[in-house]
């Protein structure tokens, strides 16, 4: 419980700028208006868009808000705050099988452009799953730079998990081939593959991912497949563009949204789920092993609006 509070605290602190950006504005609207009129709605709308929730998401939140206000015959602008929070939460529903890969024997492919936090997230996830009593293997399939392999080795050491790696410049698919063999013979619960992110060369990236996927499909068909795109939360709408590009080259099953510590663009978490229909499954709020956790919509919205979460029995 202490750990969870710690993470929530970090999330609250991390979302400070987002909160200043969105919520301070929203609060002033709630207290500044005495009636719910078009102008009131327009101001909320503007703030949500500025807070990087995106036009589409904002429209659907506003529609939901207007409908509820009408249905519940609400007259006081202040009462709209909870409705707004509820509405944002509904935009971020995870779906039932979001973490199925943790229960089954699985292969988790982590993809994304350079610098977004792939290797760090692989390391954090490996550590946490190992702590949960799972047999974890990580694969250094970013063979582009020697530093990337070293970085993952460091994380593997820290996490106490096995790593499968080859030299710099080797074929990433060959690394994955070796890693799959190791996962099978060592009865790993999960194989987590780090990859290189050279989106500037989309064709190469596509070919590389296809090849990796073919190998996993062929050599390890019984494994449950999970493919997470890592997006840097500080890049705002650009993260959305990246996610769309990766959707074209792979079957994405979820998002890891990193660097939510200290960005004013935390609203992007809502936009990603709502606009792409892909759930944000993990969020990162720092560089340490515990600074990555499962996404919890209620916690996120509470942190965003800085409402103390009630302890649930
Ligand atoms: N503040 C912060 N930094 C992060 C987070 N996740 C990753 N980083 C940092 O972002 C940088 C790039 O991370 P890395 O894992 O190497 O990215 P990759 O190129 O996608 O593998 C590193 O300095 C990480 O420590 C996060 O959630 N918060
Ligand atoms: Mg990396």
Whole-angstrom distance, CA of residue 164 vs CA of residue 173: 12
- Our answer on whether the CB atom of 250 is closer than 6 Å to any ligand 1 atom is no
pTM of this structure: 0.88
Question: 272 CA distance to ligand 2 centroid (A)?
Answer: 22
Which residue's CA is minimally distant from atom 13 of ligand 1?
A: 117
- Closest-CA residue to 53 (of 18, 20, 9): 18
Pick the ligand that lies closest to the CA of residue 258. Answer: 1
* Residue-level pLDDT, tens digit, the chain, 313 residues: 445 557 888 888 888 877 777 777 777 788 888 899 999 999 888 888 877 788 888 999 999 999 999 999 999 988 888 899 888 888 887 777 899 999 999 999 999 999 999 999 999 999 999 999 999 999 999 998 889 999 999 999 999 999 999 999 999 999 999 999 999 999 999 999 999 987 667 788 888 899 999 999 999 999 999 999 999 999 988 999 999 989 988 899 999 999 988 777 788 888 888 888 899 999 999 999 999 999 888 888 887 776 655 444 3
Please give the DSSP secondary-structure letter assigned to residue 291. Answer: S
The Cα-based distances of 294 to 98, 129, 223, 284 in angstroms read 10, 12, 22, 9
């Amino acid at each position: 419980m202490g750990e969870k509070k710690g993470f929530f605290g970090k999330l609250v602190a991390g979302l400070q700028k987002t909160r200043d950006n969105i919520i301070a504005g929203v609060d002033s609207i709630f207290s500044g208006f005495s009636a719910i009129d078009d102008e009131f709605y327009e101001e909320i709308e503007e703030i949500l868009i500025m807070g990087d929730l995106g036009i589409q998401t904002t429209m659907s939140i506003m529609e939901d808000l207007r409908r509820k206000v009408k249905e519940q015959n609400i007259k006081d602008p202040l009462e709209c705050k909870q409705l707004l929070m509820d509405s944002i939460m509904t935009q971020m529903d995870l779906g039932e099988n979001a973490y199925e890969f943790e229960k089954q024997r699985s292969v988790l492919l982590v993809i994304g452009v350079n610098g977004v936090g792939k290797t760090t997230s692989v390391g954090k996830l490996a550590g946490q799953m190992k702590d949960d009593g799972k047999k974890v293997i990580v694969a250094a399939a970013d063979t582009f730079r020697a530093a990337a392999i070293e970085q993952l080795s460091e994380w593997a050491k820290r996490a106490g998990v096995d790593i499968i790696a080859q030299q710099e410049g080797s074929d990433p698919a060959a690394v994955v081939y070796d890693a799959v063999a190791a996962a099978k013979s060592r009865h790993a619960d999960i194989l987590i593959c780090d990859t290189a992110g050279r989106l500037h060369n989309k064709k190469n990236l596509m070919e590389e991912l296809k090849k990796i996927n073919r190998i996993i499909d062929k050599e390890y068909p019984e494994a449950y497949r999970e493919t997470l795109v890592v997006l840097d939360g500080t890049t705002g709408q650009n993260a959305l563009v990246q996610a769309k590009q990766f959707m074209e080259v792979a079957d994405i099953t979820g998002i890891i949204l990193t660097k939510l510590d200290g960005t004013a663009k935390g609203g992007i978490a809502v936009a990603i789920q709502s606009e792409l229909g892909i759930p944000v499954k993990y969020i990162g709020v720092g560089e340490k092993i515990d600074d990555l956790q499962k996404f919890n919509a209620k916690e996120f919205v509470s942190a965003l609006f800085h409402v103390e979460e009630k302890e649930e029995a």
